[in-house]
Amino acid sequence: MMNWRDSNLQLVVLFRQWFCLFKNKDEKMKYIYSILAVFLFSQPVLSQDVSSVRIGVVDMNKLLQEAPQYQDMQSAIEEEFAPKVRDIEAKESAFNESRDKLQKDNLALSNDERQNATLKLTSDQRELEYLAKSFQEDRNNRIQIETNKIIVETINVVNKFGRDNGYDLIINEGRISQNTILNGGTLYKGASVDITNDIAKVLEKNFQESKSGG
């Protein structure tokens, strides 16, 4: 087991290596390295051999895009919304025909006929735009709901894999849409890296000291 001085020397070396890696990275990798830095230099790690810490990185975006569950979900949603797509396409085709006919017969129409035809085209165009917008929103919401289900399944798999294979920390590398349930970069953490209670104690101590001093 390393003594206190050896531990600190090793941490100094790690920090120097860390700085060299960190300064040339893009924003995504800086975020990942920041998470790892907090983990490596937190108090629980100081009490153990740093080389024994096992960290895993998962690209959740790649997993989701390539997972058979995601491919199957996309196919199912495309099939589910296919009737709406056909309906919108039919209305769009009818609108284009009416517009072309108005342009062709424009000179032969009376002012009233031309005005009525123009008003109908405007109304049809608004309806078509509304249908297209509603379709897109409904489809996106459906995809989001099903994607969140797959994310939950994937996180459960990551957690089981982390426990079964002795990982201390597993973080997410890929960027995920903000609309998903996945918040933050930590997918799995062992009990040894959770310093929530330690921080809570410091906050409580600071609070009591400020009260007694005031």
Assess whether 103 and 76 both reside in one domain. Answer: yes
Both 74 and 135 in one domain: the answer is: yes
Report the largest interatomic distance among the alpha carbons of the chain, rounded to a whole angstrom: 98
Q: CB neighbours of 201 closer than 8 A, spacing ≥ 6?
A: none
The range of the structural domain enclosing residue 178 comes to: 4-66+153-213
Report pLDDT digits (tens) over 69-80.
999 999 999 999
**46 & 113 share domain:** no
**Count of all residues that appear for the chain in the document:** 214
Read off the pTM: 0.63
Going by pLDDT thresholds of 50, 70 and 90, the confidence category of residue 40 is: low
**Sheet of 186-189, strands arranged across:** 55-58, 169-172, 186-189
Asked whether residue 62 falls in the same domain as residue 166, the answer is yes
Using the predicted structure, report yes or no on whether residue 34 has a pLDDT greater than 80: no
Same domain, yes or no, for 136 and 191?
no
Task: Give yes or no: residues 77 and 121 share one domain.
Answer: yes
Question: In terms of Cα–Cα distance, which of 203, 180, 166, 178 is closest to 54?
Answer: 166
Q: Residue 150 pairs with which residues in a beta bridge?
A: none
Which of 123, 150, 177 marks a domain boundary?
150
CA distances to 20, 25, 37, 53, 201 from 30, rounded to whole Å, are 12, 6, 10, 20, 29
Residues 166 and 131 occupy one common structural domain: no
- Residues 29, 169, 49, 8: is their CA dihedral positive or negative? positive
Domain count of the chain?
Answer: 2
Question: 27 and 55: one domain?
Answer: yes
Same domain as 199, residue 157: yes
According to the model, what pLDDT value does residue 86 have?
96
**Average pLDDT value over all residues in the chain:** 78
**Final residue belonging to a domain, choices 134, 150, 166:** 150
Whether residue 146 sits in one domain with residue 74? yes
Are 28 and 54 within one domain?
yes
Which residues lie below 8 Å from residue 54, measured CB to CB, with a gap of 6+?
165, 166, 167, 168, 169
Domain boundary residue among 127, 150, 173?
150
- Containing 176, the helix (H) or strand (E) segment is none
Q: ∠ CA(177), CA(178), CA(182), 5° rounding?
A: 85
The predicted model gives 138-166 an average pLDDT of 91
- Selection from 37-46, 118-127, 175-184 with the highest mean pLDDT: 118-127
Verify that 207 and 108 share a domain, yes or no: no
